[in-house]
Amino acid sequence: MESATLPTPVDQPAEEDRTNRRVELLLGALASTVLLFLAGMLIFTLIKAWPSFAANGLAWFGAGGNVDEQLAAIFNSPADAANFVYTLRAWPLIWATIVVTGLSVVLASFIGIFSSVFIVEFAPPRLQALIEPVVKFLAAVPSVVYGLLGILVVVPFIADTFITESMRESVRYVIQLDGTSVLAAVLILTVMILPITIAIIVDSLREVPVSWREGAIALGVNRWRAMVTVSLRAVRPAIVAALVLGIARALGEAVMLAMVAGSIGFAPNPLDGLLFFLEPNRPLAPTILDGEEGLSVKPFGETMYAFGFILLFSTALFSLAGWIARASLSKTSISAR
Amino acid sequence: MTGIFLCLVAFAITVYMAVKGLQFINLDMLTTSPTPAVDQSETGGFLDPMIGTLILTVLGTAIAAPAGVGIAVWLTEYGRPAWLARMVEAGTEMIVGAPSIALAIFGLLIFQTSLMAPFSFTAEGGAVFGRSFFAAGAIMSLVALPFVVGGTREALNSIPKHLREASYALGKDKASTIRRVLIPAARPGIATGTTLGMAQIVGETAVVVVLLGASLQLAPEGAIPALDVLRGTGSTLTSYVYVNSPAGEGNAPDKAYAAAFVLLMIAITLNLLVNLFGRKGPSR
């Protein structure tokens, strides 16, 4: 960044100056296409999705009826434009997205913050040297591999261990409990987000000047308190960055969730007690993936683009919120990269 | 404690995948194309998905690397007007956060327009199919782009000022300083970023399923050699694993395990490469 203020050489021949100007413009135009692309993506997805939103109004976001039956009706709607079916109450899908994303992000940031503190401050050097490549490795495992392990190992495990015959009996007429569940989705998603969270927070914790913490310790505070009151406060922008990335990853995860969340448009009910965690569901992103073959059916495709727009819009919003939060926090702390 | 737990998880994943993978994999799988059949012993291997992964990675990287380096150079060396630079910065960050499935269906929207017809095939009646290696490669380049930009920027920022000043003192102008001094010096950073981007492309599934068609075999379109493959549909290792998992249509867990093992090996290799480039640091 500083380099931008470097004095450019003077007394250049006019020819060279023009070349420089051209290079700057060319690269600037290239960079601006990123913005153009983002704007285009939001606008065109919204235009494509509009019929679905327009036909339902705000009820689009509400609950009512069976969302899978509604999607099937949209898919099978008559071929002439006047009779397209658009009726949709997307709440079960939205609720599943909120539950799965929320739980796994909360879990991952909680575990992530504590393990980062442990790694930087308390872990023996040998363990520290081991953890870094491990974290990088976990972040590099493709999501479809997580999904495969989930559906072939975690899901059967949950079905065998936690789900009893009486539980199955109690909800028989509503849903099938086969192990694909909120629990499986949240567990695996947490393992997927955790490495990113830890990598970002650890990097930032390492940059906290030792003297800051030493100052606190010299004032008679113990190591743990110094960590919490000085270091963790100093890296708040990094924590926000980790949170935003975690939310984005969780919202956008389609493949793994399509495999382990149980492709049923059912809204898990918190009033069911512990059963809540064992109920199948299907967040928005896997819904698009599942409906991929129907994209060419006009009303169905438009409904899928509506899901896509909701995802795009919310990740953009979180990105923006994170950007603002970091800008305001960085005045009093170490700025995140 | 959690640190140890993470190590255990990583260890368990690797060992379990290695055991399952080595148990089911054989040389035939690596050298035969997948074929539709009722009997599992006749469904072939995953040669085509491996070729698909290779083509897609090369295509995506070929677009992302130059574009990413260009954007990073503009951000660090020019960055005027400042508000535009900050917006571009935020924009690249937003691309990282954008759900890949949303990128994929937006890509389909673009490539199904008649303007983009040459990049895929046109069905009878004029509807453009919109799914091809070109389409998937273009969107994959976006998936990799932020990583190339990030790696390059970091490297450019860590180049000492005196290197630039020395170049100016020798009478070089800014454009040739960038070309002859800064980019060569930033090479390890560019390599790190590009490799990270490649790892993203290799591991991406949603874009493949939506934009590449996830067809069983490579399905060339047209008569021009090489170009016909790029215009046609295909699959990659990720989509092969997805289709062959119990969630997909194939439902052949053995083959899914074997393909996932190969996929994991590629991911680990790329990861090791990143470490290798990272250790070298910015060279002089």
Place of tokens 């503190």: A117
Please tell me if residue B253 touches chain A, with a CB cutoff of 8 Å: yes
Residue B154 domain-assigned? Answer: yes
Residue B11 domain-assigned? Answer: no
- Residue B149, both tokens: 């930009």
Please tell me if residue B199 touches chain A, with a CB cutoff of 8 Å: yes
Q: Tell me the C-alpha to C-alpha distance, in Å, between residue B146 and each of A139, A313, B61, B101.
A: 16, 19, 12, 17
Chain A residues within an 8 Å CB radius of B90: 319-320, 323
Chain A residues within an 8 Å CB radius of B173: 9, 12, 16-17, 19-20
Min CA distance, B239 vs chain A (Å)?
A: 8
Contact A41 B102 (CB under 8 A): yes
pLDDT, position B282: 46
Averaged pLDDT of chain B: 85
Residue type for A183, please?
A: L
Q: Tell me the C-alpha to C-alpha distance, in Å, between residue A103 and each of A110, A241, B128.
A: 11, 18, 41
Number of C-beta neighbours around residue A329 at 10 A: 20
Residue B220 pLDDT greater than 80, yes or no: no
Q: How many residue pairs from chains A and B have C-beta atoms closer than 8 A?
A: 258
User: What Rg value do the Cα atoms of chain A yield, rounded?
Assistant: 25
Q: Tell me the C-alpha to C-alpha distance, in Å, between residue A315 and each of A67, A246, A329, B102, B176.
A: 23, 11, 21, 11, 39
Please tell me if residue B205 touches chain A, with a CB cutoff of 8 Å: yes
Min CA distance, A336 vs chain B (Å)?
A: 13
pLDDT, position B283: 44
Let me know: does B253 contact B129? Beta carbons within 8 Å.
Answer: no
Predicted TM-score of the model (pTM): 0.88
Let me know: does A226 contact A120? Beta carbons within 8 Å.
Answer: no
- B151 is in which domain, residue-wise? 46-280
pLDDT tens-digit map of A5-36: 555 555 556 677 788 888 889 999 999 999 99
Residue B188 domain-assigned? Answer: yes
Please tell me if residue A314 touches chain B, with a CB cutoff of 8 Å: no
- DSSP secondary-structure letter at B176? H
Mean pLDDT value of segment B103-115: 88
Min CA distance, A324 vs chain B (Å)?
A: 11
| Residue A335 confidence class, pLDDT cut points 50, 70, 90 | low
Residue type for B46, please?
A: F
pLDDT, position A6: 54
| Residue B274 confidence class, pLDDT cut points 50, 70, 90 | confident
Torsion B262-B267-B272-B276 (CA) sign: positive
ipTM: 0.88
Q: Tell me the C-alpha to C-alpha distance, in Å, between residue A164 and each of A150, A160, A221, A278, A303.
A: 20, 8, 50, 11, 37
Please tell me if residue B40 touches chain A, with a CB cutoff of 8 Å: no
Report helix angle A182-206 to A125-140, nearest 10: 130
Let me know: does A97 contact A251? Beta carbons within 8 Å.
Answer: yes
| Residue A164 confidence class, pLDDT cut points 50, 70, 90 | confident
**What share of chain A has pLDDT > 90, as a percent?**
35
Higher pLDDT, A167 or B269: B269
Contact B88 A32 (CB under 8 A): yes
* Rounded Cα gap, residues A115 and A194, in angstroms: 10
- Which CATH number goes with the domain that contains B71? 1.10.3720.10
- Chain A residues 276-305 with CB within 8 Å of chain B: 285, 288-289, 292, 295-296, 304-305
Residue B112 domain-assigned? Answer: yes
B91: exposed, middle or buried (Cβ count in 10 Å: 0-12, 13-18, 19+) = buried
Q: Tell me the C-alpha to C-alpha distance, in Å, between residue A257 and each of A169, A270, A307, B274.
A: 25, 20, 15, 28
| Domains, chain A, ordered by start | 91-329 (1.10.3720.10)
pLDDT, position A243: 92
Residue B150 domain-assigned? Answer: yes
**Closest by Cα among A41, A45, A334 to A203:** A334
Report the number of distinct structural domains present in chain B: 1
Residue B23 domain-assigned? Answer: no
DSSP string, A93-129: HHHHHHHHHHHHHHHHHHHHHHHHHIIIIIS-HHHHH
Residue B212 domain-assigned? Answer: yes
| Strand, helix or coil for residue B35 | coil
**Closest by Cα among B229, B224, B246, B17 to B134:** B229
pLDDT tens-digit map of B160-194: 888 888 988 998 888 888 888 899 999 999 999 99
| Residue B43 confidence class, pLDDT cut points 50, 70, 90 | confident
Averaged pLDDT of chain A: 86
Residue B79 pLDDT greater than 60, yes or no: yes
* Rounded Cα gap, residues B3 and A64, in angstroms: 44
Residue B139 domain-assigned? Answer: yes
Please tell me if residue A65 touches chain B, with a CB cutoff of 8 Å: no
- Residue A334, both tokens: 């170490």
Higher pLDDT, A147 or B37: A147
pLDDT tens-digit map of A187-232: 999 999 998 899 889 888 888 888 888 888 888 888 888 888 888 8
Residue B2 pLDDT greater than 80, yes or no: no
